[in-house]
Structure 1
Amino acid sequence: MSLQLTWNNEQDDFQIREDLITLLEAILQKAGETEGVTEGEVDLTFVSDEQIHELNLEYRGIDRPTDVLSFAMNEITNDELEIIYELEEGEELENVPDVLGDIIISVPRAKLQSEEYGHSLERELGFLFVHGFLHLLGYDHQDEASEAEMMGKQEAVLAEVGLTR
């Protein structure tokens, strides 16, 4: 297996073109290579502000929309995987993709932020995607040092795929 991107579009504000997905796949490969992650699956969903607002409230207790949410799957146990994949008694847990987690991006929020920062929507979506991916790997930005580390990693990956400001 290799590092795979699966995606779903649940919003109507912006058409998700194949060239954007190709770009996000390149970002995933570059970020994975940088972080030493060569296998796994990342599930990406594009949503509206209303949808991400609901998720932000439900899972984080924050009553407003946000730009990106990440849900890491690395804390799921084999027992939970057996339930998810409905294994029969005696059946082994094999050939099951190593799902790293879910990244959910609000396209309207990304569009607004791209305009505020003066760069392309593709660059903002790429930034949010690599940001979400790093969260799946356990990175956070709760203090200045961890924020600087995460920002540096994000910008390096984006520069590698030609998404500079």
Structure 2
Amino acid sequence: MNLEIDFLDEVNEVTEQQINEIEKLLCYAAELEGVHDGSELSVTFVSNERIQEINRQYRDKDRATDVISFAMEEMGAGEIEVIGADMPRVLGDIIISVPRSREQAEEYNHSFMRELGFLAVHGFLHLLGYDHMNEEDEQKMFSRQKDILEGYGLGR
């Protein structure tokens, strides 16, 4: 499985090794989810201030959070779906707060890498249409996250 992933580290705190590990994890998740080879997404690592700004602007929630995803395949009002045989599937964007990741890793007593992996998979599943707005959907999504992380070797 090969995903085209653009990584951007705005805080310069994520190592090349950690980025490579996130890439392998997301490719593993994509394979399990049946995502087409060559599908595209971006992963951006940001500060708490930046993710709060994004959360306020796009979700009307004026607080920092750990991860935000923007799925490109969700159709908004008045948008036209573009379909083409030669076009790559563009999944969307995952934005992860590095300071929040560090805080949560400490809080949950696991590694920073495990937390980054968890947040990347969580965001990735959102790009694929998973959600946790009700109890049934939450159970399905969280169970899938757990299976992916454990299968990859980043379980708790």
Question: TM-score normalized by structure 2?
Answer: 0.88
Distance of 1:38 and 1:63 partners within structure 2: 36
User: What pairs up with 1:71-110 in 2 under 5 angstroms?
Assistant: 71-75=70-74, 77=80, 96-110=87-101
- Give 1 or 2 for the bigger CA radius of gyration: 1
User: What pairs up with 1:71-150 in 2 under 5 angstroms?
Assistant: 71-75=70-74, 77=80, 96-150=87-141
Check conservation: 1:41, 1:99, Cα contact below 8 A: yes
- What's the offset of the Cα at 1:95? 5.4
Q: What is the DSSP-based 3-state SS (H/G/I as helix, E as strand, rest coil) of the residue aligned with 2:40? A: strand
Identity of paired residues, percent? Answer: 51
What amino acid does structure 2 have at the position aligned with 1:62?
K
Distance of 1:54 and 1:99 partners within structure 2: 24
Please say if 1:36 is aligned against 2:27. no
What amino acid does structure 1 have at the position aligned with 2:51?
I
Check conservation: 2:2, 2:27, Cα contact below 8 A: no
Q: Number of residue pairs matched?
A: 151
- Runs (4 or more) in structure 1 with deviation over 4 Å come to 93-96
Question: TM-score normalized by structure 1?
Answer: 0.84
- What's the offset of the Cα at 1:164? 1.6
What amino acid does structure 1 have at the position aligned with 2:4?
Q
Q: Find the counterpart in structure 2 of residue 64 from structure 1.
A: 63
Distance of 1:131 and 1:123 partners within structure 2: 12
Please say if 1:163 is aligned against 2:154. yes
- What's the offset of the Cα at 1:38? 2.4
Deviations 1:1-48 (A, max 9, x none): 942221001114x2x222212211121112111111123111000000
Distance of 1:48 and 1:97 partners within structure 2: 30
- What's the offset of the Cα at 1:78? 5.4
Q: Any stretches of 5+ residues in structure 1 without a counterpart?
A: 82-92
Distance of 1:24 and 1:43 partners within structure 2: 12
Check 1:148–1:54 CA distance in 2 against 1; reply closer, same or farther (3 A cut): same
Check 1:94–1:150 CA distance in 2 against 1; reply closer, same or farther (3 A cut): closer
Check conservation: 1:5, 1:28, Cα contact below 8 A: no
